[in-house]
């Protein structure tokens, strides 16, 4: 049953497939999930890889040191055409194995720690209130993506990194250009523009030391023969800038859609604001905004559940499906803001939306805080919020990794 | 119950300090710090949640065999 990785097999399930509902996995993935935890799927380039839909198997594989995240390897699968662009190989931290991964991740740990996140929360609240007030002043209809969902994470990450927010239109557009490109060439072009921009910015920070933000701090630690070269710093800057705003903004947007389409759940949340942190994890579980928890390549044969993943074979872990493994999440397709009541509130964090293993999302505490603030301020300031277009008419992104909506018209 | 946290494995994901704040915290470097290495039984469920969630397997509950509730059982006490 183990077809060689490059055989094009017309019978195999074709990855990716579009969602039919913005917060549910594609019907085809749902079908796969019912058949078992491990599947062979065919990619755009004809290559066959494994797709994991079982929660236990996903955790085991993502925590297994024999699985490599090194995107510069020839056998690393490009699960979408754009991921074949040179700019993605190697992408900092997320695309490196230990020891380099661990060294770079630890350099950043203080800036993403719970303490730091808690310290910046009041500023994020003030920002969200200001954006909501601007929306009220402008009056309906408003595109929630541009007016609210995007500016919050975008300002937060530019502040944290020390990237001037006045350049936001540029870096937001290029990030979307990179993450939604249909071809490797388009992705490379957008990526290079971001690269050149960050290169110039870091040069300015080198000339004027002592500036605020992570990039200034790290610019002072660069040594060409040490743990952090200038190229490493550029790659880290790119990864954080890209990783820091598109995911979170689309999670705010689709989170709002999901809440508005479940008025009973929204009402339950309004009645019990203390349930918000757990509700955020339930939303993260359900929406699975990146659709994928991680992509890897096996460096040795790995036996799992009676199957053998051969050295050199690619593995894609589906977050939308592992997050619906009924063994871990009863009534998996239901949105239930009180899913974890009666237990330790953190146990709702078992979802794999942020991945698992050493690559589990570095920005997750920041993202959770931004989401808490974004939803609580929005529904407090604009209690009559509703969709400005029927759900079916929402311009949704196509299947693949980064899910979301191009625009989100809202009224009140 | 004895609890350890291996700082060389910690990836600063922060789950431990959220699920068992009486037992774990984070240092200035963002990595785990054990506040109470021998917590009382009332902390068992919280520490189990932390151990389960820790993505880099940095947390260990040393006498897990002693009086550990069956999986899915309600928290003791
Ligand atoms: C809702 C928002 C977010 C989601 C769903 C998300 C999802 C993920 C996932 C699934 C991974 C693991 C990828 C893998 O194992 O291959 C990851 C890693 C990462 N994320 Fe996020 N992310 C979010 C927000 C953020 C934010 C705000 C930042 C801040 C800059 C960020 C930065 C990173 C970085 C640097 C990594 C690589 C970590 C490593 O390899 O050790 N993410 N994220
Ligand atoms: S849960 Fe694990 S990785 Fe996360 S901070 Fe605690 S010990 Fe570190």
List pLDDT tens digits, range A229-240: 999 999 999 999
Q: Please determine, for residue A213, whether its predicted confidence score (pLDDT) is greater than 80.
A: yes
pLDDT in tens, A185-208: 999 999 999 999 999 999 999 998
C-alpha span between A235 and A76 (Å, rounded): 19
Closest CA in chain B for residue A346 = B19
Strand partners, B33: B25
- Residue extents of the structural domains in chain B: 2-66
Buried b / exposed e over A303-337, threshold 16 CB at 10 Å, is ebeebebeebbbbbbbbbbbbbbeebbeebeebbb
Q: Please determine, for residue A32, whether its predicted confidence score (pLDDT) is greater than 70.
A: yes
Strand partners, A38: A52
Nearest CA among B31, B34, B29 for reference residue B61: B34
C-alpha span between A169 and A225 (Å, rounded): 36
C-alpha span between A92 and A83 (Å, rounded): 14
For A13-411, the fitting CATH number among 1.10.1740.10, 3.30.43.10, 1.10.630.10, 3.40.50.300 is 1.10.630.10
Query: How many residues belong to chain B?
Result: 77
The residue to which tokens 């040069």 are assigned: A203
pLDDT in tens, B18-70: 999 999 999 989 999 999 999 999 999 999 999 999 999 999 999 855 544 44
pTM for this one? Answer: 0.94
> What count of Cα atoms within 13 Å lies in the side-chain half-sphere of residue A309?
29
The complex scores an ipTM of 0.88
Give whole-number Cα distances, A218 to A223, A232, B37, in Å. 10, 10, 34
- Burial label for A296, CB within 10 Å (0-12, 13-18, 19+), is buried
Strand partners, A292: A318
Closest CA in chain B for residue A347 = B49
- For chain A, percent of residues with pLDDT exceeding 70: 97
> What count of Cα atoms within 13 Å lies in the side-chain half-sphere of residue A136?
14
C-alpha span between A206 and A201 (Å, rounded): 9
State whether residue B69 sits within 8 Å of chain A by CB.
no
- At residue B70, the pLDDT reads 41
> What count of Cα atoms within 13 Å lies in the side-chain half-sphere of residue B67?
10
pLDDT in tens, A104-139: 999 999 999 999 999 999 999 999 999 999 999 999
Q: What are phi and psi of B45, to 5 degrees?
A: -60, -45
- At residue A398, the pLDDT reads 86
Ligand 2 in reach of B10 Cβ (< 6 A): yes
Nearest CA among A15, A17, A19, A14 for reference residue A405: A19
Ligand 1 in reach of A251 Cβ (< 6 A): yes
Q: Which two tokens stand for residue B72?
A: 């899915």
Cis ω on the peptide bond leading into residue A99 (within 30° of 0)? Answer: yes
pLDDT in tens, A329-353: 999 999 999 988 666 778 889 999 9
Name the interface residues of A facing B (CB cutoff 8 Å): 62-63, 102, 105-106, 109-116, 342-344, 346-347, 349-350, 355-358, 360-362, 364-365
C-alpha span between A325 and A57 (Å, rounded): 11
Strand segments, DSSP code E, in A44-93 are: 48-52, 67-68
CA angle A9, A312, A86 (to 5 degrees): 90
Q: Please determine, for residue B73, whether its predicted confidence score (pLDDT) is greater than 80.
A: no
For B2-66, the fitting CATH number among 3.30.70.20, 3.40.630.10, 2.40.50.100, 1.20.1640.10 is 3.30.70.20
Q: Which residue in B15, B17, B30 is closest to A349 by CB distance?
A: B15
């Amino acid at each position: 049953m183990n077809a060689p990785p490059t055989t094009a097999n017309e019978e195999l399930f074709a990855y990716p497939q579009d969602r039919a509902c913005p917060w549910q996995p594609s019907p085809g993935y749902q079908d796969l999930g019912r058949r078992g935890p491990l599947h062979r799927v065919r990619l755009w380039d004809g290559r066959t890889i494994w797709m994991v839909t079982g929660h236990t198997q996903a955790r085991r594989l993502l925590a297994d040191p024999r699985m490599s995240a090194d995107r510069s390897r020839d056998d690393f699968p490009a699960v979408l055409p754009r991921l074949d662009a040179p700019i993605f190989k190697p992408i900092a931290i997320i695309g490196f194995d230990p020891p380099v991964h661990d060294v770079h991740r630890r350099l950043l740990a203080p800036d993403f720690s719970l303490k730091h996140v808690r310290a910046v929360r009041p500023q994020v609240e003030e920002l969200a209130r200001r954006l909501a007030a601007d929306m009220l002043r402008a009056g309906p209809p408003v595109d929630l993506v541009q007016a609210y969902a995007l500016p919050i994470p975008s300002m937060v990450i530019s502040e944290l990194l020390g990237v001037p927010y006045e350049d936001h239109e540029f870096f937001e557009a290029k990030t979307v250009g990179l993450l939604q490109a249909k071809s490797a060439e388009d992705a490379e072009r957008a990526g290079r523009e971001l690269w050149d921009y960050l290169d110039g910015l870091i040069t300015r920070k080198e000339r004027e030391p002592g500036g605020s933000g992570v990039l200034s701090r790290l610019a002072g630690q660069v040594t060409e023969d040490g743990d952090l070269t200038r190229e490493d710093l550029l790659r880290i800057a790119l990864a954080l800038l890209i990783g820091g705003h598109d995911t979170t903004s689309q999670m705010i947007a689709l989170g709002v859609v999901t809440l508005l389409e479940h008025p009973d759940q929204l009402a339950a949340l309004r009645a019990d604001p203390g349930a918000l942190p757990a509700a955020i994890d339930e939303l993260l579980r359900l929406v699975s905004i990146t659709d994928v928890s991680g992509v890897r390549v096996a460096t040795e044969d790995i036996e799992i559940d009676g199957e053998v993943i051969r050295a050199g074979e690619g593995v894609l872990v589906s977050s939308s499906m592992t997050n619906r493994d009924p063994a871990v999440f009863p009534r998996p397709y239901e949105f239930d803001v009180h899913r974890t009541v009666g237990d330790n509130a953190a146990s709702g964090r078992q979802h794999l939306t942020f991945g698992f293993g050493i690559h589990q999302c570095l920005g997750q505490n920041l993202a959770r805080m931004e989401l808490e603030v974004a939803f609580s301020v929005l529904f407090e300031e604009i209690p009559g919020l509703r969709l400005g277009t029927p759900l079916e008419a929402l311009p949704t992104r196509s299947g693949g990794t980064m899910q979301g909506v191009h625009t989100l018209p809202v009224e009140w | 119950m004895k609890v350890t946290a291996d700082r060389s494995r910690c990836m600063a994901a922060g789950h431990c300090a959220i699920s068992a704040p009486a037992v774990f915290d984070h240092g200035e470097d963002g990595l785990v710090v054990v506040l109470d290495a021998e917590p009382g039984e009332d902390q068992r469920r919280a520490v189990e949640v932390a151990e389960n969630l820790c993505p880099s397997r940095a947390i260990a509950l040393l006498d897990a065999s002693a009086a550990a509730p069956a999986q899915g059982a309600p928290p003791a006490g």
